[in-house]
A and B are shown apart, each in its own frame.
Chain A
Amino acid sequence: MIKAILIFNNHGKPRLIRFYQYFAEDMQQQIIRETFHLVSKRDDNVCNFLEGGSLIGGSDYKLIYRHYATLYFVFCVDSSESELGILDLIQVCCYFFKMLCRKKQMVFVETLDKCFENVCELDLIFHMDRVHYILQEVVMGGMVLETNMNEIVAQVEVQNRMEKSEGGLSAAPARAVSAVKNMNLPEIPRNINIGDINIKVPSLSPF
């Protein structure tokens, strides 16, 4: 089981947190701080496993992390997960984050190794929700859901297309603008008594 997935930058600012066991918000922040403290003081050429972290887990739990440029990707897992497997998984996740956030066409032309070199922090900052959606296709409720890259890509793509066809979330303000434009302004009585809010107005076209 994976207990938590934390992504934070070199200063310990969280970029994505995903706990599969409930912790209150302040506890979550404390865990992030502690984990950051543990991870950040390690050199880059030491191993990627870390015991301890008194707040999260216990003796059965391990922190498995990777450090890419400005970001730390930390998984807190118990002994049922394969350590090396999780390291691979982190790589896979990073790859997706990078590709999706840049809205590139998801074609696997590049070999994996090349892609990890610079996962850009900015990619993650502005698209936290998307990163979550990708992660949901890889890990669910603390268990690894899918490891087949093509399958993950396909599912994420379909869902993004669905969102697009619905207009997406960002379309809401735009729709509002068009709604204002479409309103038949002359129909609104000229002499509106500002003091009286409850004036009756002919029904507006619904939007």
Chain B
Amino acid sequence: MALKIVKGSIDRMFDKNLQDLVRGIRNHKEDEAKYISTCIDEIKQELKQDNIAVKANAVCKLTYLQMLGYDVSWAAFNIVEVMSSSKFTYKRIGYLAASQCFHESTDVIMLTTNQIRKDLSSPNQYDTGVALTGLSCFVTPDLARDLANDIMTLMSHTKPYIRKKAVLIMYKVFLKYPESLRPAFPRLKEKLEDPDPGVQSAAVNVICELARRNPKNYLSLAPLFFKLMTSSTNNWVLIKIIKLFGALTPLEPRLGKKLIEPLTNLIHSTSAMSLLYECVNTVIAVLISLSSGMPNHSASIQLCVQKLRILIEDSDQNLKYLGLLAMSKILKTHPKSVQSHKDLILQCLDDKDESIRLRALDLLYGMVSKKNLMEIVKKLMLHVDKAEGTTYRDELLTKIIDICSQSNYQYITNFEWYISILVELTRLEGTRHGHLIASQMLDVAIRVKAIRVFAVAQMATLLDNAHLLTGNMQRNGICEVLYAAAWICGEFSEHLENPMQTLEAMLRPKVATLPGHIQAVYVQNAAKLFATILKSQEGNTDSTAAQDTSQLMIDRLPLFVQSANLEVQERASCILQLVKYIQKLQQKDVEVAEEVNALFAGELNPVAPKAQKKVPVPEGLDLDAWINEPPSESESEDEQPKAIFAKEEPKHSRPRHTEVDEKELARRREARKQEQANNPFYIKASPSSQKVYQDAPGVEHIPVVQIDLSVPLKVPGLPMSDQYVKLEEERRQKERAEKKKKEKKKRKEKRSGRGKKHDSGPESEEDITPAHQVDIVTEEMPENALPSDDDDKDPNDPHKALDIDLDKPLADSEKLPVRSHRAAEAAKSPAEDGETENATSLEPKKKSSKEKREKKKDKDRDRKSKEEKKKKKHKHEEKEEDLLGGQADEPVVQSEETSEVAAPPTSTSAEVSDLDFWLSNAPVPSNTQEAATVAAAAAPELEAPTGTAPDSEPDEPKDTEMEETKSSKHKKKKQKKEKEEKEKKKKKKHHHHHHHSDGGGEESVQNGTVEEEEPLPPMSNYCLLAENSYIKMVYDIQGNLQDGSQVVVSVIFENKCDSFLKSMEFNVLDSLNSKLQRPEGSGPHDGLTVPFQLPPGVSNEARFVFTVQSIVMPQKLKGTLTFIVKNEDSSTHEKLDFKLHFTCTSYLITTPCYSDAFAKLLESGDLKGSSVRLEGVNMPFHHLLARICFHHHFSIVERIDSCASMYSRSIQGHHVCLLVKTSGQTVSIDAKCDEPTLLGNVLDEIKQTFSQC
């Protein structure tokens, strides 16, 4: 053993540190991989050592290797070990490694919860800081839930360094655990006015990030942010706030009006380009949100455009880029003001910088008009030829198509030109956008009837030269175009000049190399062509020609019958048989052309892409209703604790159901859309797959204009579009000339000035008439379709969950979970939480609306008295601080602020009217004035006897402050940790109790008043189980709500020595009545392995489930804990005996009860009474009640002065009712219960609780 150690020490001398590793890697350039693999072997050896320094060094090296791309997840456990080191140096290394390589599916993360919690509450702020930084990178939903409360506490830490980190990390917590947002929000808001600029900046950061996704929930913060904006000098904060306003203004135009002035001031005054740019951006957002009606808008727009022009003209490419970016935002609403800078933008198209060219492209979209479309596209086509990278070229391609097709081909005057542009684009090599061109071709050919002749001719040329497109397999993307070409040629085959040639082109053997879906279209359309050819040939009396055609089909189709693609095969064999049959008929000289043509008769009409979705659901049809019985999955839901009182409302499962259905519906819709997108046969905005088997009405009415085909068509791959530009130019000139003539005539006829208006500009938009009258067929929509714009939000967006109304008063149930008891099978409890929350959340809502109305009435009357009360309250707080030894760090003023700011979010109506007031107020209110209004609005809520939330809320900061002072006072005492733990426990228990008691309206109110009077001393239900020099165990017993025969024992194990404790086994001697639940397959005397190990100084909690039969008597169980103590050099087995005390109290569960139900219960006469007197109880009545509630799991039903009724229920359904009265130092408790033995024992236990203190 010693040798090993000696050897280890010597080895360590030669251990590589990070620098050595890096140097080594640099020296082994040729065989880097090999060198690194030997290094990893070394690291593995080092990780096996017990010395934490060696481990930390190894982990540090692993972090480096991770950067190089090596997977180091195998060392996750070692990383956790290093994280839990007590030395800052190592801890920092551990957390760094964790933040680099941990993620949600890293399983050891579960083990870190307690370690992180410990670090968060460390007296060393840098330990806390390191833990927060690390956590921000790998926080999981579980960690977020378990640690949310701890982090929230840190938000009011004395050190700003911790505060800012805690504030920032809350955002991550919200994302992972959205339920925490509402309870934490008041404190977050309060941090906006933190004295430390760093903390303030962090809070602004978090709220902006939240508001960006769900702006409407943060509108009420506008006044506060406005104040910050006008007072802050930190550019970072200003930028964030201004960005936030940019997101808020679309929701509230009045806000925009208020913003314009200070923003323009900033634009004029600031020297920071970044700030100026953001101001301009937000002004643009404001202008967009405001309807154009205000006269001074044009001035602001002008200012923006002017500033942007300066940016774009700047030599700094960055500014140029940003200027263009902002310009594109103006474009949407004020295209006119941008269009005047066309020269500048076209200039940017030639910039050497791709980013800038792309931005300029974006702007072009809005610059085109009928007049300049051809010119701009020509320019773009030149760029396409010059472009080097495929990404930029693809971008150009999509932009050309976007520009041309925008608003239903509004700017296209000559569709021949457009088709030839599309054909030219097919010459692009390696583009990914073949399908885009294809769908454009289809769309134009179908919707613009006049162009079909031309389009068909072009497509036939394309098909003829298909080898040019498919020659290179790299050009694969472009062969999609053939899909469109084949379909157009087939469908509109009557326009083909030489159908026979096209048919042959379609049946070439080379076609078999095309993708399956294109081949399928080829085969189908070959059949259409065949039908057309037959028709023309049969008229000719030359029957052999027709038979030759059939023979051609019969010769070529077998190639497709052999195709591996099912679709191709099926169509080909079907058509082959058909043609064979036709041939037979032809040989008998039967006329078949008519019948064959009937196969493909009818016109296809385009259908709007959303048509299907917009068909209204017929009345009485519930698409989401189950056709058959749904599979029973919600059985556990039905097995909710049986309602004891008849009056209790039924579970609100129904609304929840519909919500799920909605989600499900959205999911299905999404899936369907996905399917459609992937389906090559579903072409958006193009023919529907079904044919209309009748002649479409109105085809005759469409004026088909003879097109003068002055351009030679049959030269493939030659740019023809340029010639159209020339032609167009000439045509326009001619037109103009004609118009002028007409105009002159007109003027001669009428001498009035009316003509002048028309003449305002010969170049104006309206004057340019399309080359030929185009009939753009609009897409078909179903009858009585519902116009709706479904916002297609990503259902997976984590921010969707954060769309939470923050102004609603906090319900009692909305508390951050504090470490709570969860049964060993932890899966149950979150579900249970959810259910209780669901059940309870409805109640406060109903109430709040009523409350609001009442409050409004009472507001004015109450204001004065309330304010007095508030003062009193502050006195209370001050007193408290004195008691705690006067905290220097937390001035009284701040605590005042705390209570003030915490209140506003609880009152929606007040808040909203406040916002209205603020917005309608033209001059900027001074800070004090505003604060006053906020305070005034908040005051009634703050102390409102009916509002439970505000009462409990300000309580919390006090608690935490206390905790902090305590922890700073008793530094480095061993018990301190334990105390803190207890305090936390207490807080949790406290909330727990709330959580349960909020079901009924009234008694929760009572709870509120109880707490308001004076903070409660720390309480804990954890009592000592056993202790020796190695380990200490404390335990608590809780009934299991779900199962009447189970209790959960939570034991906290704390390692008190300097060694590592492992292989802990927990065993209990079962009695007849109570048994430890062991996993299946183990004997009745086997111990349970504690699922963790304990490094020195660490504590962790394990839960054990016991089954009990009778609960009327308390009980004690003997047990043993065996464990191994591992030192550097030795390991010893140790054991510790203990006695588990199952009190009757532990069988009780805090259950809320309505006062009327309570009265009925007492009247029923089923209960047997008993009473007890407590002498010399020296504590306030509400403390006494709180103690009973806390230690004995009761809830208060009603409290009148010095008298209170309380209720609790055992896990087996016994009702326990108490009436507690106090006079002086005597407390009398009258109790009733349907089980006298149980009652007796419970009363004994209560008596004991009070005799101890």
Contacts and interface: CB of A to CB of B under 8 A. Distances in A.
Grouping DSSP codes into helix (H, G, I), strand (E, B) and loop, the B interface class, with mixed when no group exceeds half, is helix
A14 B17 CA distance: 19
A45 interface: yes
Interface string A26-66: 10110000000000001101111111100000000000000
B243 A82 contact: yes
Interface in B1222-1247: none
B391 interface: yes
Given A141-B169, A151-B198, A176 B22 contact: no
A176 B46 CA distance: 14
B725 interface: no
Contacts of A204: 2, 5, 1129
Interface stretch (A68-76, A107-115, A125-133): A125-133
Interface in B168-210: 168-169, 171-172, 197-198, 201-202, 205-206, 208-209
Interface stretch (B85-93, B536-544, B945-953, B1145-1153): B85-93
A147 B237 CA distance: 10
Given A46-B353, A83-B322, A169-B57, A147 B236 contact: yes
Contact of A26 (B4, B69, B321): B69
A140 interface: yes
Contacts of A166: 87-89
A143 B87 contact: no
B208 A80 contact: yes
B71 A25 contact: yes
B2 A188 contact: yes
Nearest to B272: A84
A183 interface: yes
A120 B501 CA distance: 69
B10 interface: yes
A117 interface: no
B527 to A, nearest CB: 41
30 contacts: A14-B67, A14-B68, A22-B104, A42-B354, A43-B352, A48-B318, A51-B355, A82-B239, A82-B274, A83-B277, A85-B235, A125-B26, A126-B23, A128-B18, A128-B67, A133-B96, A140-B132, A141-B136, A141-B169, A143-B168, A143-B206, A146-B201, A158-B126, A162-B126, A169-B53, A172-B12, A173-B15, A197-B1, A199-B2, A204-B1129
Nearest to B96: A132
Given A14-B68, A159-B92, A172-B57, A201 B168 contact: no
A106 interface: no
A194 to B, nearest CB: 8
Contacts of B10: 176, 180
A17 interface: yes
Nearest to A170: B17
B274 A88 contact: yes
A126 B161 CA distance: 28
B243 A80 contact: yes
A129 B88 contact: no
Contacts of A163: 88-89, 92
Nearest to A159: B126
Contacts of B171: 141, 143
Interface in B1132-1184: none
A99 interface: no
A84 B89 contact: no
Interface in B298-316: 316
A83 B318 CA distance: 9
A199 to B, nearest CB: 8
Interface in B331-359: 352-356, 358
Interface string B896-918: 00000000000000000000000
Interface stretch (B58-66, B576-584, B964-972, B973-981): B58-66
A153 to B, nearest CB: 13
A43 B317 CA distance: 11
B122 to A, nearest CB: 13
A102 interface: no
Interface string B20-47: 0011001000000000000000000000
Given A14-B68, A85-B236, A87-B318, A52 B202 contact: no
Contacts of A168: 89
Contacts of B235: 85
A90 interface: no
A103 to B, nearest CB: 13
Nearest to A33: B69
B63 A129 contact: yes
Nearest to A14: B67
A20 B13 CA distance: 36
B350 to A, nearest CB: 14
Nearest to A87: B318
B646 interface: no
Contacts of A183: 6
A178 B1169 CA distance: 76
Interface string B799-822: 000000000000000000000000
A42 B66 CA distance: 28
A138 B1094 CA distance: 34
Contact of B66 (A25, A141, A142, A206): A25
Contacts of B103: 22
A147 B2 contact: no
Contact of A47 (B198, B234, B274, B356): B356
B161 to A, nearest CB: 6
B412 interface: no
Interface residues of B, number: 89
Contacts of B208: 80
Interface residues of A, number: 75
B22 A125 contact: yes
A119 interface: no
A5 to B, nearest CB: 12
Contacts of A46: 317, 352-356
A155 B5 CA distance: 38
A31 to B, nearest CB: 11
Contacts of A169: 17, 53, 56-57, 60, 89-90, 93
A141 B172 contact: yes
A80 B19 CA distance: 38
> Ordered nearest first, which 9 A-B pairs have the shortest CB separation?
A141-B136, A84-B274, A172-B53, A47-B317, A22-B103, A46-B353, A176-B12, A201-B2, A29-B69
A16 B168 contact: no
Interface in A89-107: none
B92 to A, nearest CB: 7
A145 B197 CA distance: 11
Contacts of B100: 18
Interface in A172-192: 172-173, 175-177, 179-180, 183, 188, 192
B990 interface: no
Given A180-B9, A203-B1129, A162 B88 contact: yes
B83 interface: no
Given A133-B96, A151-B198, A180-B10, A47 B164 contact: no
B124 to A, nearest CB: 8
Nearest to A183: B6
B353 A47 contact: yes
Given A128-B18, A169-B93, A201-B2, A47 B320 contact: yes
Residue among B89, B197, B354 having the largest count of chain A Cβ atoms under 10 Å: B89
A155 to B, nearest CB: 6
A175 B322 CA distance: 56
Interface string B637-662: 00000000000000000000000000
B274 A85 contact: yes
A155 B23 CA distance: 29
Contacts of A42: 353-354
Contacts of A28: 69
Contacts of A47: 316-318, 320-321, 353, 355-356
A173 B12 contact: yes
Contacts of B5: 204
B587 to A, nearest CB: 59
Contacts of B68: 14
